Structure 1
């Protein structure tokens, strides 16, 4: 039994690249079109089988440990010279091949960019120019992967098929196995002169600007999809998609309930008693509010269509303002006397538990939830 390393003329410590080069050199010398002798055909089989074992890391390890990867089945194990000729150099009496080479052009990966918005940006939507670090088409080779003026060449190991076949004998008879060609990685072609800019990838890393209109009504965690704006694929393949993940920063005054904006209005006790008008600054401009005399804590003032524009509708939500009556904690003598006089005149009842009121409970619940 011939030693695979001796057949290829390499040492047992040879690297995969050295093994590949040795096989390519011997295959050219023993190619049936170059050397039609019977000895060359037999030697070609030995060289091919040795390369199949040593180019596969797992098989090579088993062979080095004395495993059965070193058993060579002879001409019958490979189905005869015509099968060898067809498998590695095309043509022959065996008919066509199964499968086809891989394409170097593949779809690019999707990309994800996170953008932070203020709550005010969500009311009507906003525009952003985003810097994206991603793969773009190589301008030197325009995705061909080759140095300008050169092109891919058909692999002379698999004859452009992109795969290698062999037949092995088993208890069930002859079994045909197929694996990608190690010389061309299944592409059927090699690139002798890779592009110096992209190193044969057809794409390079670069920063580019992507303009995106973010619609109104988006929420934190929502992802917007921009088809075809992601990474360009290997060898100039189609772009993947770009996803924009939105994060809305909390606002110190307003919070969100669906498409409604919610805020809390602190009202002095005297204004609550007498009633007043005030102007607040909403996210899209000033809003006038009128407080009736005797307004109570927990009451909600609703301003129609001053909330957020819906994501899937042009209608705006409402602005809901919960009233919080502020009771003074420090009074001077004059102020305390006036309050005591008010208490005597109004003859207010002593504090007591009130009957349950569904409407009041809901207002208070919303007040503490959104306040």
Structure 2
């Protein structure tokens, strides 16, 4: 099933402000919240869909990328399956966006994930992003490709299940902050009492303490591993474009949401074909005899070759078109063309016999330039092709 437009999901316009996007998401999230629609799978899917849309539109870089490339520029098109409804579970949604509800656990009803209990649940941290460059040749850019890349990233320690304690044993509540992760200080000022909060210095804001550290990760709850990740690149990507795979970045220490893997496209120049948007351009050089008498020639195309006919009397500067031999549109259905620019090759040195032949033809009436007044010049031809 095709993804819905993110603006349509949140029922906002493309010109919506940051605050309007936030309000729209809060409205949708409360409407389809699991606590309010228990057992309703459709409501749960819409809740995840709204979270997916907000994750992208609330981030300036992701929003700009989405506005330009649509869903193809997001994680799902890159094969990550990481946004909202694809790979994000309910706890991930609340941990990342819980603050917009005004509650510690992200639940406006106070019951989901134990939010209605004793203290305020700590918001889970998000790990750092990873960025890689991926080189693609013209054929891979034109048709799309699936790549497998090696990435070194921090993943959850299997020995302790990510909590940093030996064999994953239970952590103890921090005695300094009572598990809140924050300490409050009350100061008397001329204006009355001033209350400030700061991360607990004993547990570094985690609210829990490790009794015996895990020997595999030394208490970090994560280890560095090399992973082979498949990436599906859509057809039509461009140089410097950035794709994103959610959840394939680093896991933070001792639990949380993994960061993203950012894939920056690096397009390698082709030796014979030159890209111009969705079109490719090839410079064809003909000798005088072939241009005057006509011939058939073989020209390179993306991933192959094609044989074309050169009509007798073809002029230098003529542009021939091979329909549909260009690059597929990103997030679209169209395909560009291959434009063949005819050039006349003039020899720089001639034999005696060649010189004598040309001297005989020099004064022939058919060899005197007679341009047709209705014939368009090079710039007019190019304008016709690209408009």
Q: Distance in 1 between matches of 2:155 and 2:335?
A: 40
1:5-47 per-position Cα deviation (integer Å, ceiling 9, x unaligned)? xxxxxxxxxxxxxxxxxxxxxxxxxxxxxxxxxxxxxxxxxxx
Q: Distance in 2 between matches of 1:164 and 1:227?
A: 33
Question: Normalising by structure 2, what TM-score?
Answer: 0.63
**Equivalent position to 2:191, from 144, 151, 172:** 172
Q: Distance in 2 between matches of 1:174 and 1:278?
A: 88
TM alignment of 1:136-175, pairs within 5 A: 136-148=155-167, 150-175=169-194
How far residue 185 of structure 1 moved from its aligned partner, in angstroms, is 2.1
Distance 1:316 1:358, change over 3 A: same
Distance 1:186 1:284, change over 3 A: closer
Instruction: Identify the residue that residue 109 of structure 1 maps to in structure 2.
Output: 128
1:193-217 per-position Cα deviation (integer Å, ceiling 9, x unaligned)? 1211212221111111110111111
Distance 1:196 1:366, change over 3 A: farther
Q: Distance in 2 between matches of 1:142 and 1:99?
A: 24
TM alignment of 1:52-91, pairs within 5 A: none
Q: Which runs of 4+ in 1 moved over 4 A?
A: 98-103, 351-358, 363-367
Distance 1:295 1:108, change over 3 A: same
Distance 1:286 1:161, change over 3 A: closer
Q: Distance in 1 between matches of 2:168 and 2:273?
A: 63
Question: Normalising by structure 1, what TM-score?
Answer: 0.66
Please say if residues 299 and 323 of structure 1, whose CA atoms lie closer than 8 Å, have aligned partners that are also in contact. yes
Structure 1 residue matching 2:169: 3-state secondary structure: coil
Q: Distance in 2 between matches of 1:300 and 1:116?
A: 31
- Give the number of equivalent residue pairs: 268
Q: Distance in 2 between matches of 1:179 and 1:157?
A: 12
Q: Does 1:332 align with 2:351?
A: yes
Distance 1:364 1:334, change over 3 A: farther
Instruction: Identify the residue that residue 346 of structure 1 maps to in structure 2.
Output: 365
Instruction: Identify the residue that residue 54 of structure 1 maps to in structure 2.
Output: none
Distance 1:226 1:168, change over 3 A: closer
Instruction: Identify the residue that residue 209 of structure 1 maps to in structure 2.
Output: 228
Mark the structure with the bigger radius of gyration.
Answer: 1
Please say if residues 248 and 258 of structure 2, whose CA atoms lie closer than 8 Å, have aligned partners that are also in contact. yes
TM alignment of 1:256-335, pairs within 5 A: 256-335=275-354
Q: Distance in 2 between matches of 1:259 and 1:364?
A: 15
Structure 2 residue matching 1:335: 3-state secondary structure: helix
Q: Does 1:241 align with 2:260?
A: yes
Please say if residues 269 and 328 of structure 1, whose CA atoms lie closer than 8 Å, have aligned partners that are also in contact. no
Instruction: Identify the residue that residue 360 of structure 1 maps to in structure 2.
Output: 378
Structure 2 residue matching 1:123: 3-state secondary structure: helix
Distance 1:102 1:185, change over 3 A: farther
How far residue 353 of structure 1 moved from its aligned partner, in angstroms, is 11
How far residue 249 of structure 1 moved from its aligned partner, in angstroms, is 0.7
Q: Distance in 2 between matches of 1:280 and 1:348?
A: 28
Instruction: Identify the residue that residue 91 of structure 2 maps to in structure 1.
Output: none
Instruction: Identify the residue that residue 197 of structure 1 maps to in structure 2.
Output: 216
How far residue 162 of structure 1 moved from its aligned partner, in angstroms, is 3.0
Please say if residues 135 and 266 of structure 2, whose CA atoms lie closer than 8 Å, have aligned partners that are also in contact. yes
> RMSD between aligned alpha carbons?
2.7
Q: Distance in 1 between matches of 2:238 and 2:377?
A: 29
Please say if residues 220 and 248 of structure 1, whose CA atoms lie closer than 8 Å, have aligned partners that are also in contact. yes
1:107-137 per-position Cα deviation (integer Å, ceiling 9, x unaligned)? 2222211100111211211111011111111
How far residue 267 of structure 1 moved from its aligned partner, in angstroms, is 0.3
Structure 2 residue matching 1:271: 3-state secondary structure: helix
Please say if residues 239 and 265 of structure 2, whose CA atoms lie closer than 8 Å, have aligned partners that are also in contact. yes
